A and B are shown apart, each in its own frame.
Chain A
Amino acid sequence: MKPDRRHMLKTIGQVGLLALPARALADAPVANDPWPGLVTGIFQDRKLEDGTQIMALNAPVRAENAAIVPVSLRMHLPPGDSRVLQKIWLVVDQNPSPLVGTFTIGRKSGMTALATRVRVDAYSNVHAVAGLSDGRLYMVKRFVKAAGGCSAPMIEAMAPGQSIGQMRFREVGSYTAASPDRAEGILMIRHPNNSGMQMDQVTLLYIPTDVIERLDVWQGKDLIMSMDGGISIAQNPHFRFNYIRNGSKVFRARARDTKGKVYEHSWSLAKSST
């Protein structure tokens, strides 16, 4: 009961905050820039270098659906730069829970690109911070016009044959023709990822937060990535990422939600789909 209660207290604050600055939203898209505070809170004021030369953050200028906003980060280190990506932080500054997720990249994965879908609750900067193997942090950002993604997620009843925790993985072919050992995969998890910000009018209770808080994906024995995520990941969490094929045809994913339920699945790719 305790975490629920604490969450509700937090939610009350959010409701008040969200209801009041709505007018300000129309006049000044980003009021009170929360980013400096987030740099302190998430990165303990570590130095964030300009990442525009080594990576690109892609997000729509205007979100078509604030509850499903596709964002992607692609890294392009210059030839000869032997550093590798170790960590990605994705932040939607104006969301009630700004840190969308922290992604830890497997040492041998070779991952240089990651895409997911987020909820965006107000006009906001989206920041991506990449941690490289030399310990330096690089930051890029995009401004996204969207509103209400957290409080208005899609409400989709599970159809027959669908169930929470259902997972799919597929390879979508080689990353580039020049490097056929590099592949791109899509991992999908059916999960409401309830943000805890919707109220059930009948019971007058908030639908409790229920999100995927941890995800691990492996290729054979090698970790591709782990994610620690929160309510800003869109319903039916979706991840698209690249990796270097290590020869194993077995992919495995394990997800845990905030209710403590664990979903695990493995896929045996009959043949690599180059």
Chain B
Amino acid sequence: MARFVAIIGQACILALAAACPGSGALGAPLPLRRIADGVYEFQGAIALMDRANHGAIANLGVVIGSKGCAVIDTGGSVREGRDLLSAIRKISSKPILYVINTHVHPDHIFGNAAFLGLGATFVGHANLPRTMAAQGPYYLKSFLPAMGHALLADVRLVPPTLLVKNRLTLDLGGRKLALKTWAASHTDTDITIEDEKTRVLFAGDLLFVEHIPVIDNSLDGFILDTKRLQKQDARLVVPGHGPIPGDWHQAVAAERHYFDVLKADITASLHKGLTMRATVHDAGASEAGSWKLFNDYNKRNATTAYAELEWN
């Protein structure tokens, strides 16, 4: 019975893909920037995913060892994933050993299908298969109006087969990547990736720079994660969104400040007995000038945090 359900689900996805042939045209290679020896980054736009940016809003990474490469996140559409792949092919002909998803959000996983059939192992948090299955269809549906059918038709929800339960080390040949899981915070699927050789840390969406932090799971968890982030022994930290900060400790502190303000505002309004709707209207408002996309996410963050903090 369960298999039957799964097959129906796949049939729907296949039907969508078949309805839109020709979406596989290769675009321009993504502009990859070398940020350390063998380490590259693409910086996404600080924007919401839409047709014009074809989902390219998250920062992506590539690390190249003597045996092969690891890809860190695949972007917000298969088109972006393909553009990433063609950019990698310009700098290295080594095989792609691992495709790592830092977490479940569509701007980080919708490009996964571009890396199928290359022999790469998909890697992610132990919760990622479950959460991807639960939320993936919702993401596909809810991004359709903004992204359009052509960009989403060939998206596949490709779950990881190599799971990170606490820590995991990947050997790329001559360099190792240290993967770690974090408290449920931004999502319940966040991992970070550190290249031990260059001490570059890919923080995924545990660090937002300029782009307002997004809380999709737990504000208290995110506060814990910022404390733990501050203790990391990294030389350079690549955020999930926004430019690589000159002083990453300061960037983590700015993010933490937003969380503290939001928590204080919501806690005060809970004490006053204010409703969720009344609370989310004002909570965090003093931070409006400090972040881009504030109006797109702040009330949503406040809603999630209110439902969490009312139990404290």
Q: Chain A contacts of B86 at CB under 8 A?
A: none
B218 within 8 A of A: yes
Instruction: Establish whether residues B300 and A64, one from each chain, have CB atoms under 8 Å apart when the complex forms.
Output: yes
A12-20, A33-41, A48-56, A91-99 - the one binding chain B: A12-20
Instruction: Establish whether residues B304 and A154, one from each chain, have CB atoms under 8 Å apart when the complex forms.
Output: yes
- Could you say which interface size class chain A belongs to? 35 or more
Report which of A60, A147, A186, A206 forms a contact with B5, defined as CB distance below 8 A: A206
Q: Chain B contacts of A72 at CB under 8 A?
A: 275
B190 within 8 A of A: no
Instruction: Establish whether residues A152 and B134, one from each chain, have CB atoms under 8 Å apart when the complex forms.
Output: yes
Q: Chain B contacts of A206 at CB under 8 A?
A: 2, 5
A157 within 8 A of B: yes
B12 within 8 A of A: yes
Interface size on B, residues (CB 8 A): 46
With A23-B149, A199-B133, A199-B134 already in contact, the answer to whether A156 and B218 are too (CB < 8 A) is yes
Instruction: Establish whether residues A64 and B303, one from each chain, have CB atoms under 8 Å apart when the complex forms.
Output: yes
Q: Chain B contacts of A15 at CB under 8 A?
A: 5, 8-9, 12
15 A-B pairs whose Cβ atoms sit less than 8 Å apart in the complex: A11-B5, A15-B9, A18-B137, A18-B141, A19-B9, A23-B149, A64-B300, A66-B142, A148-B137, A155-B188, A162-B311, A198-B134, A202-B130, A206-B5, A236-B307
A142 within 8 A of B: no
- Cα distance A151–B188 when bound, in Å? 17
Majority SS at the chain A contact face = mixed
Tell me the B residues contacting A by CB distance below 8 Å: 1-6, 8-9, 12-13, 16, 129-135, 137-142, 144-145, 149, 159, 184, 188, 217-218, 273, 275-277, 280, 299-300, 302-304, 307-308, 310-311
Instruction: Establish whether residues B142 and A201, one from each chain, have CB atoms under 8 Å apart when the complex forms.
Output: no
Q: A-B contact count, CB below 8 Å?
A: 124
Report which of B2, B138, B307 forms a contact with A203, defined as CB distance below 8 A: B2
Q: Chain B contacts of A200 at CB under 8 A?
A: 130, 133
Instruction: Establish whether residues A240 and B275, one from each chain, have CB atoms under 8 Å apart when the complex forms.
Output: yes
- Cα distance A117–B276 when bound, in Å? 10
- Cα distance A204–B2 when bound, in Å? 6
Tell me the A residues contacting B by CB distance below 8 Å: 5, 8, 11-12, 15-16, 18-20, 22-23, 25-26, 58, 60, 64-66, 68, 70, 72, 115, 117, 147-148, 151-157, 162, 168, 172-173, 184, 186, 188, 190, 198-206, 236, 238, 240
Q: Chain B contacts of A16 at CB under 8 A?
A: 8, 12
- Cα distance A205–B129 when bound, in Å? 13
With A5-B1, A172-B273 already in contact, the answer to whether A236 and B144 are too (CB < 8 A) is no
Minimum CB–CB distance from A200 to chain B (whole Å) comes to 6
Starting from the known contacts A66-B142, A155-B188, A156-B188, 5 additional A-B residue pairs (CB-CB under 8 Å) come to A19-B9, A148-B139, A153-B134, A168-B311, A184-B273
Report which of A148, A188, A205 forms a contact with B2, defined as CB distance below 8 A: A205
Q: Chain A contacts of B16 at CB under 8 A?
A: 19
Instruction: Establish whether residues A157 and B184, one from each chain, have CB atoms under 8 Å apart when the complex forms.
Output: yes
Report which of B134, B141, B188 forms a contact with A25, defined as CB distance below 8 A: B141
Instruction: Establish whether residues B280 and A64, one from each chain, have CB atoms under 8 Å apart when the complex forms.
Output: yes
Instruction: Establish whether residues B311 and A236, one from each chain, have CB atoms under 8 Å apart when the complex forms.
Output: yes
Report which of A60, A188, A202, A238 forms a contact with B277, defined as CB distance below 8 A: A60
Report which of A12, A19, A147, A202 forms a contact with B129, defined as CB distance below 8 A: A202
Q: Chain A contacts of B8 at CB under 8 A?
A: 12, 15-16
